[in-house]
Structure formats: structure tokens, C-alpha cells
Structure 1
Amino acid sequence: MTTLSAIGTSEDLVEDARQAARAAADSSGITIRLLHQVEEFSEVVALFARIWTSDVTQGPVNTETLRAISKAGSYLAGAFDGDKLVGAGMGFFAAPSQQALHSHIAGVDGRMRGRNVGFAIKAHQRAWALGEGIHEISWTFDPLISRNAHFNLVKLGARASKYHRNYYGQMSDVLNGGDDTDRLLVRWDLLSASVAAACHGKPATLESSAHRADDAQTLLEPSAHDEPTVRKTDAALVLVRLPNDIEALRRSRPETASRWRSALRDSLGALMDDGGRVLGFDSSRRYVIDTQAPYRPPVVSEAC
């Protein structure tokens, strides 16, 4: 890990993070700001309800909780396209000794897909956190959704920390589809040079030969019909491949989607339980896991 002393002073790092956040927002054509008013909280509640459910009265957050989060000084920000709220994120402080924030929920209006609004929100969150003296942000995501794995592990440079089984219990919203809520916990080292580079649009990548080594073996992959296929392996470097579109499978073939949940739990989850390190996520929708060696951070690419 690259430490703060190798990057510059604390003030330098905060200013660099703010520049990256402004550039990300400008590139997305949005503005991002902290939210403080009840009317704004109501907009966030409605936005998240549209994203996660088909019932605008039963979203994942409520106005009262957002008021408490804001009053306590934790993170609550909105992304605006003109005057319209199109994305938001919230997080709360961990124990004081950890100098950390847990990012609980973030979402973007589906009509904004492809404009990197989610990336801009995370860059803003990092800049704000550094300004508050926070050194780490953690959050969870569904490890079966490949675009989320790429976003978190590649584009943001977060590091997979722990596999949690049925973390929230069963959720019947439109995104989770009644499936168990297994989650991958990731940690974002805000003092890392590779994370700083990622926020400037230069994400870290796996070493080009890391997952093409002769001894790399596939533990899990989809069949021709998108069924999970598990293979036996005792290799030091293991590949776990995701289905093409787990969200579509949850709608059209829920039993197959459930089998994928079990297969990923018994592959990626079991490897991480045994000390395996997720080195990254590649362009073929594969987690790359080192089952033996200590964690080696990916190499920063020169390409944007």
C-alpha cells in the first residue's frame, strides 16, 4: 500500500481528491452537493424507491433516517442534472478509532446510465471523507452482478475484504428478486496512490499475465445455457466466472439464479473464508483469486 507520505501532505491529498471529484462531475454533466433540507430528503426517498422497488411508498430509506444521518454530520449527497435529482449516496461513520465511513447506499436514475454518475458520486464521497479526516470507506455489493464487480474492484480500485452470506436476509425488491442477499464487503483505502489514480480516471489493472498463468484453473463458469458449472481444482490461482446477466436470470429463470447464488457462495465465498485473496476482476467477468500468496495490489495502468 502506498502511504500518505509518498503522495504528499494531507492538504495536498484533499485538494487532489477535490479536483478529481470536480472533474468527474463535470465529465458527467452534473453537480453534486451535500443535502440538508427535508424537501431534499424526500426527493432521495422517492429516487431510491424508483430504483429498488415498484412501490414508491416502500423504498429502502425514509425521510426520518436521512434527517438523522444529515444532522449527525455523516455523508448524504445528491447528484443533480440541472435542478433534477438523478443520484444520491449516504454513509455513516464507523467507530472513532477506525477513521472510517461505511457507505450504506448509493443509487442513480436508470435514465442516466452510461454517464458515470455513480463514479462521480464516489469520487465526491472520497473527497468529502478525506476532508473529514477519514482514511477508509467500506461498502457491500452483490458479487453476482458483474457490472458492480467491475465498478467496485476495477474502476474504483476497492479491495475485496470478506464474503457475507445472506447479509440482509431475503429481500423482495425488483433488484434482489427474493434471492438471498449474499454480499461482498470491500474496503477503499483513501490514502492509496492507486485509488487516487482511479478517481482521476486511471484505474488499476491486473498484471497482464496474472490470470493467464499455466497453473490458473477455473473453479466456476457458466454452461452454454447459463447454468453454473463447478469444477474441482487445488490450483494456487483460481478463476470464478459470473453469468452473463444475473438480473435477467432472476426475472426469467429464478431457480437458475438461485443455483448461481449457491455456486458462488461455495466457490468465491469458500475461498475467501480460507484466506484466499481476490486480486481483481477481469474483462471476462472473472474474479481472480490467489489461494496462497499474500495480497498483491494491482498495477496502475498508464491508460485512462
Structure 2
Amino acid sequence: MSIEAAGGPGLSIEASAVGLAAHDAARWAAQAGVAVRELRDLDEAHAVIALLVEIWGRPENPLITVEFLRALTKAGNYVAGAYDGDRLVGVCIGFHEEPAARTLHSHIAGVAPGLAGRGIGMALKLHQRAWALARGIVAVEWTFDPLVSRNAYFNIVKLGALPVEYLPNFYGAMHDAINGGDDTDRLLVRWELLSPRVRAACSGTPCERPAGGPSSRRVAAPADIEALRVHDAAAARSWRPRLRDELEPLMAAGGRVVDYDRELGYLVELAGTDLEPTRRPS
């Protein structure tokens, strides 16, 4: 049995893949000690905004408004939360890209302060994957700050997503508790939901880690940019142009980020290497 996507005949996903994704999501949620579900009503929307303010600050200018969140849910987009009992402790928000792309753009994901390391973020992303596959969506894309080592490791190694584009100062300056007014360079990653790499990651099997070689290059990243921003703002700011000047031209020339190591940084296979493409489909 297969589930037909909104694009029509021929765009289908095997029901077994959808069921397995739902099973993986439920297992990760249980391990994290949370219940993950879609959020639809007005009270839930207010709870989402309150959590985002708790994470990012900016109460006077939240990342998203209640009104826009309500519009997203009404239009059939993805808004989900992770609950520890009655407390909302994580949220993930995404919207559909153009129909032909069969891709969801995951715009915001966050976990309440003090709860890192429990696996709540993993539970949210796997719920998002199962939700997407059930709707015929084959990929999810999102951006993250390439200076944040824990996010790079989570996205590339734990989830199996791969960077496809370097976006310099994508949002402009963001004066909040996380970005601190720094340039908002971002890596756009693509999560191919049914690729062997992602299937393995979601089942709990570590992704195969390429070792690198003559056709690859390492690009260093700070061990903990968030702590550095607090203790030495000048040193933290120096990392942005350093990483941008090295990683952006490599990717623009066709280099592909294939791994991330907490000590060594990004592993980039240089253009011309015979690897499976990770570029976005045209």
C-alpha cells in the first residue's frame, strides 16, 4: 500500500515507510519522556509564543506572532509541541515550500532552557518527519548557525541532514538572547527523509562517518560559540568572518559538507569528488 502525495499519481510513499517513521518518532518521544503532538487552538498558540520568548527573549518583538501562527495552522502547515506532563517544553514550526518541491521548510525549533540533552529536539524532528511523510513530503529544509557546534552535530550527524547552501547574514542582525546582534550567517540543510542515511539515523544507527582524504578539507568551528559570546564577545565575533571566508567559497564552488566533528569542524568534499549529490533539486 502507498500513500499518494498531493501532487497526484506517481508521487507516492510506501505506507510501510510512513508507519516506520511514526514508530521511530514514538520511540524517541518515549525515550525523551515527552508527548509530541500538533498544536491547533488559540491557547496552544499563546503557549508557543511564551516558550519562544523564554528561549530567545525579545518579548517586545517575538519570532512569530499568535496571529501568524494561527494562520499557519489553518492553512495546514506544521506546528507541533513536546509536552512533559502539562508543560510545553519544545516547539517546532514549518511551512510548505512550492508544491512541486514536496519539501517542508522548518522555520523554528526550540527546547525550553535547561532541558538540553534529554532528546526532546530529536523527538520533535522525528515527529515532523513522520508528519511530512504521511503527507507525501520527501524532504525537510531548515537553516542553522554554522558557528553553533551542538546544532551542527545534531543536524548533520544525529539527524543525517546535509548542508546545501551557505547564506551570509541571512536574517540581518538579530538582537536576542541567542544571536546577540551578530551577523546571521546560516547553513541551509536538506533532510532527505527516505535516504539510507536518514533512515539509519532515525532508527538510532549512527551515520557512517567519512574519514576525509586528499579530496577533502576541514573547516574549523568554535567549540562553544554561545559561551564565548558571553565571556569574550570580541573573540566570538572574530569567528564569523573566519568561517564565512573559508566555508562559503568552498560550497559556492561545488564543495559538499559531508560530516561534522566537534573537535575538527566541518568536513568538505571538494568539487569534482565522486559522491552522491546533496544539492537541492532544480
CA distance in 1, matches of 2:29, 2:55: 21
Q: Is the 8 Å Cα contact of residues 54 and 113 (structure 2) preserved in structure 1?
A: no
* Residue of structure 1 equivalent to 2:9: none
Which among 109, 114, 131 is matched to residue 106 of structure 1?
109
Matches within 5 A, 1:34-45: 34-45=38-49
Which among 69, 72, 75 is matched to residue 72 of structure 2?
69
* Residue of structure 1 equivalent to 2:30: 26
CA distance in 1, matches of 2:167, 2:275: 19
CA distance in 2, matches of 1:168, 1:56: 18
Q: How big is each residue's C-alpha offset from its partner over 1:107-127, in whole Å with a ceiling of 9 and x where there is no partner?
A: 000222111000000000000
* Residue of structure 1 equivalent to 2:241: 262
Matches within 5 A, 1:161-176: 161-176=164-179
CA distance in 1, matches of 2:274, 2:184: 28
Q: Is the 8 Å Cα contact of residues 279 and 295 (structure 1) preserved in structure 2?
A: no
Identity of counterpart residues, as a percentage?
47
Which among 257, 261, 277 is matched to residue 282 of structure 1?
261
Q: Which moved more, 1:289-298 or 1:177-186?
A: 289-298
Q: Is the 8 Å Cα contact of residues 74 and 91 (structure 1) preserved in structure 2?
A: yes
* Residue of structure 2 equivalent to 1:295: 275
CA distance in 2, matches of 1:42, 1:241: 40
Which among 174, 188, 191 is matched to residue 188 of structure 1?
191
Matches within 5 A, 1:180-259: 180-207=183-210, 210-211=211-212, 213=213, 215=214, 236-259=215-238
Q: Is the 8 Å Cα contact of residues 103 and 140 (structure 2) preserved in structure 1?
A: yes
Q: Is the 8 Å Cα contact of residues 225 and 236 (structure 2) preserved in structure 1?
A: yes
Q: Secondary structure at the match of 2:124?
A: helix
CA distance in 2, matches of 1:62, 1:201: 35
Q: Structure 1 residue 251: deviation in Å?
A: 2.0
Give the alignment's TM-score, normalised by structure 1.
0.84
User: Is residue 15 from structure 1 mapped to residue 19 from structure 2 by the alignment?
Assistant: yes
CA distance in 2, matches of 1:184, 1:200: 25
* Residue of structure 1 equivalent to 2:3: none
Which among 46, 57, 68 is matched to residue 50 of structure 2?
46
Q: Is the 8 Å Cα contact of residues 166 and 182 (structure 1) preserved in structure 2?
A: yes
Which amino acid in 2 is paired with 1:166? Answer: N
Q: How big is each residue's C-alpha offset from its partner over 1:60-100, in whole Å with a ceiling of 9 and x where there is no partner?
A: 11101110110000000010000100001000000011111
Q: Structure 1 residue 283: deviation in Å?
A: 4.1
Q: How big is each residue's C-alpha offset from its partner over 1:196-231, in whole Å with a ceiling of 9 and x where there is no partner?
A: 121121131313xx23x4x4xxxxxxxxxxxxxxxx
* Residue of structure 1 equivalent to 2:162: 159
Q: Is the 8 Å Cα contact of residues 103 and 139 (structure 2) preserved in structure 1?
A: yes
Q: Is the 8 Å Cα contact of residues 143 and 186 (structure 2) preserved in structure 1?
A: yes
* Runs of 5+ consecutive residues of structure 2 not aligned to the other structure: 1-11
CA distance in 1, matches of 2:259, 2:26: 27
Q: Structure 1 residue 144: deviation in Å?
A: 0.4
Q: Is the 8 Å Cα contact of residues 141 and 183 (structure 1) preserved in structure 2?
A: yes
Q: How big is each residue's C-alpha offset from its partner over 1:221-266, in whole Å with a ceiling of 9 and x where there is no partner?
A: xxxxxxxxxxxxxxx3111121121112222222222211001110
Q: Structure 1 residue 297: deviation in Å?
A: 8.1
Instruction: Please give the root-mean-square deviation of Cα atoms over the aligned residues, in Å.
Output: 1.7
CA distance in 2, matches of 1:124, 1:176: 27
Q: Which moved more, 1:236-245 or 1:159-168?
A: 236-245
Q: Which moved more, 1:278-287 or 1:90-99?
A: 278-287
* Residue of structure 1 equivalent to 2:6: none
Q: Structure 1 residue 296: deviation in Å?
A: 4.3
Q: Secondary structure at the match of 1:79?
A: strand
CA distance in 1, matches of 2:264, 2:35: 32
CA distance in 1, matches of 2:142, 2:22: 21
Q: Which moved more, 1:246-255 or 1:148-157?
A: 246-255
Q: Secondary structure at the match of 2:177?
A: coil
CA distance in 1, matches of 2:277, 2:202: 16
